[in-house]
Structure 1
């Protein structure tokens, strides 16, 4: 089932769009924290975003630009500011379509479904893992924090992916070593320690302090 994220601060419009999209067989979610749209986007991992331009704190152009740093997911702008300048701006910022308010809900949903077909009939879904503002893209193995990409090695990525997939749970050293090296052969435990220490230094330098915690004698956890 395709997931649609609705970034619209008019509660009546947002609720109407959500209910109509759901009636057509899609899942939908409305953003309720307009200071943290990117984190909500990463956590929900939608297949398409409906984006208003006039929003509290930051406008839709800002959030479109931020999303484009980490994802190619389709973004359709919905706005009453439908003059040529705003339409051109929306496309230049990374938008895929523009629908003027007021709009017919059936037309909106038809456009959403057409965009989903064009996008996902030929391409797979990009999976994002988010924690404390850090966004791990499992499609291109990149980590982004506050708009900056953190360079990861293959082992860095594997460690982060496994820990973030098990967020809130302690991952044993044995399980992590098996995930990293995918072998029953003996690997010195110190090798894992070196890898985790190196990754922590990268995260600390990016501002992600105490992102990976140690559970002494057990393993590691992302809380």
Structure 2
């Protein structure tokens, strides 16, 4: 079932939405730190965001732009602002729909289902599941472009480098064996020279160093590799 992220600072409204959506089988996450909503959306791997405009620190328009910079996840604004200007601004900043408070829960649910069908249904891009942005300690990975970013620096990755980095980020802190990596990156591992993996790992190390992430990939003798963040500028 889809994972819904609610960015609403009114605890009563957020709780009502959460309880109603959970009754219909949705997984629901609510914003915990309103100064890092973009990071929480990525960490929770949200499939849809319900976003208020009047929020602490920065408004919903700001967070919509921030999310849009790293993800195409559908965003529905839910706000007490009823004027047309705010509705237009919501769409221009990347929102998919707009609802005004007070709202009927069934209407929220209907709009959500409509947006989810358009985004993930049979007519949506089959590549969607492969385009989720990953984040770890300030390192962002963009699968749709084979790029990684940290701070103000960005690098381009080859397909194998991207696959390696994705695995390391997902398994960060755990030792990943060479056999696991070989099986993940090549279909016919019997035709792959073991040195090929070493070359790709070293290339990835060099590119991460360009981002200020040094010694991130540690070789564990006789076992494999362990990935951890270690930025030069920290």
TM above 0.5, yes or no, is yes
Q: 1:173 aligns with which of 172, 178, 193?
A: 178
Greater CA drift, 127-136 or 86-95? 127-136
In 2, the alpha carbon distance for the partners of 1:25 and 1:147 equals 40
In 2, the alpha carbon distance for the partners of 1:138 and 1:208 equals 19
1:15 is aligned to: 15
Deviations 1:33-92 (A, max 9, x none): 222222221222122111112222332222211221222221001112332222222111
Q: Deviation at 1:146?
A: 4.9
TM-score, structure 2 length as denominator?
A: 0.83
Q: Secondary structure at the match of 1:6?
A: strand
In 2, the alpha carbon distance for the partners of 1:112 and 1:192 equals 44
Q: Deviation at 1:32?
A: 0.3
Change (3 A) 1:186 1:153: closer
Number of residues paired by the alignment? Answer: 222
Larger RCO, structure (CA 8 Å, separation 6 or more)? 1
Contact 2:146 2:158 in 1 (8 A): no
Q: Secondary structure at the match of 2:190?
A: coil
Change (3 A) 1:218 1:139: same
TM-score, structure 1 length as denominator?
A: 0.87
1:195 is aligned to: 200
Change (3 A) 1:111 1:160: same
In 2, the alpha carbon distance for the partners of 1:34 and 1:115 equals 24
Q: Which runs of 5+ in 2 are unaligned?
A: 229-234
1:163 is aligned to: 168
Change (3 A) 1:38 1:201: farther
Q: Secondary structure at the match of 1:20?
A: helix
Contact 2:4 2:49 in 1 (8 A): yes
Change (3 A) 1:28 1:207: same
Q: Which runs of 5+ in 1 are unaligned?
A: none
Contact 1:178 1:184 in 2 (8 A): no
Q: Secondary structure at the match of 1:184?
A: helix
Contact 1:8 1:55 in 2 (8 A): yes
